Amino acid sequence: MNNCENCGLPEWAVEGKGCSVVIEEKPENSFKRTRRRTIWCHNEECAVQALAISKYGRASYQWPVTLGQFRALKELSAVTKNTPNPIDSKGQKTALNAIMDRDPIPRLFVTKKGRPRKETVLTGAERMRGYRARRSEPICTENG
């Protein structure tokens, strides 16, 4: 569930679908990077305000332009991200330009250090059963 980034209005309280906007967040200090984030706003006015806040900061009295001038400078359609309609998962799934008869490529799982994991990973109980089975086997020492 989304809330409007600017005013906090929940998605279920809005009649339309709203709009998604990509904003750039400035770092808190010089050791962090600027990052791009996609936010949801319930209408275009809130999206323009969110863009202005991300560019100039929260304190609007320190902005070099007014909100009306910023609205005239920024074209919202250039930064708005269209959200696709949800896909009906109950319908038949077909892919264009793809052969669906092939088996999927098995994923190679790796550990944090980059080593490939075993294909069959035993649980703790299975490991203990194997250990007990190995311990109960007689040790053959043939002196010949």
Q: pLDDT (tens digit, 9 = 90+) per residue, 90-121?
A: 444 454 444 555 666 666 677 778 787 776 77
Q: What is the pTM of this model?
A: 0.52
In a domain, residue 30? The reply is: yes
Mean pLDDT of the chain: 77
CB 2, CB 40: distance < 8 Å: yes
In a domain, residue 45? The reply is: yes
Domain range for 19: 11-81
Residues 37 and 35: their CA atoms lie apart, in Å, by 6
- Give the E-state strand segments of 44-140 in sequence order: 80-81
pLDDT value, residue 77: 64
How many domains in the chain?
1
In a domain, residue 63? The reply is: yes
In a domain, residue 141? The reply is: no
pLDDT tens for 48-99 read 899 899 888 888 888 899 888 888 887 666 566 655 444 444 444 454 444 5
